[in-house]
Amino acid sequence: MQSTGLPSVMRNSRPYILAEQSRIYADDIISTDGYSLVKILMNSGSTVELGTRTRMRLMEVATNGSNTRTQLNLSMGSLEISANNTANDFTINTNIARIESISASFWLGYANGGKSLDVISLGGNEVQVSNRGGEVTLAAPLTGTSITAGSAPQDIVAWSENKFRVTRNNHRVVSL
C-alpha cells in the first residue's frame, strides 16, 4: 500500500491510521480526507487507488486460485481500478449504480456533490454499468457514461485523454 497524508480505516468500529504495510480485511472501511490519497495493492496484483475525500468499504475478496472476485462499496469520492492480466472480477456498488468488470481497468467518481457518477473505461475487458433504470457496457478505452441519481446510465460517450486527466486530477487534489 502507498499513501499520501493520513488515510484511515474503520475496523470493528475502531478507527486506525493506515501505514505503508497495513493489511486490509473484509468489512474494513477506508477513508481519505482532503489531505490524503491511498493506493492498495491487491493479492491478485491489481491496484485500487482512492482519491481525496473518498469512503470505500471492502465487502469481499475471494479466490479459487486462478480467478479473484472483489466486491467494494464506494459511498463518496473516487476510485481507479488497474487490473493486471489475470482474471480479476470487480463489482463496485454505489448509491447510484453498480459497476462490474472482469480484468478491466476503469475509473469512477462522484460528481455534482454526490448527485451523479462518472464511469470511464481505461482498457482491458468490458465494464458494465447498471441500475434499476438500465445498463450500458463500456467496451473501449476512454469511453464513459454519467449516471444521475434516480436515472438510467446515459449513452456512452468518448472522453479525450485531457478531459479524463483533468477529471481524475480534480479527485486527487491534496489540500494544504
Domains of the chain by start residue, with CATH: 2-170 (2.60.120.1440)
Phi, psi of 70 (to 5 degrees): -125, 130
| Cell of residue 135, nine digits | 445498463
For position 85, what pLDDT does the model report?
A: 64
Reported in sequence order, the residue ranges of the chain that DSSP labels E, i.e. its strands, are: 2-4, 8-11, 14-17, 29-31, 37-41, 47-50, 55-63, 67-76, 78-82, 87-93, 98-102, 104-111, 116-124, 127-131, 134-138, 143-148, 157-158
Give me the mean pLDDT over the 47-57 stretch.
96
pLDDT at 29: 97
Q: What is the mean pLDDT of the chain?
A: 92
21 grid coordinates: 504495510
Q: pLDDT (tens digit, 9 = 90+) per residue, 63-93?
A: 887 788 899 999 999 999 998 766 788 999 9
Q: How distant, in Å, are the alpha carbons of 8, 71, 100, 136 from that of 171?
A: 17, 22, 21, 24
pLDDT exceeds 60 at position 50 = yes
What pLDDT was estimated at residue 42? 85
* pLDDT tens digits, 121-173: 999 889 999 999 999 999 999 999 999 999 999 999 999 999 999 999 999 98
pLDDT of 67: 80
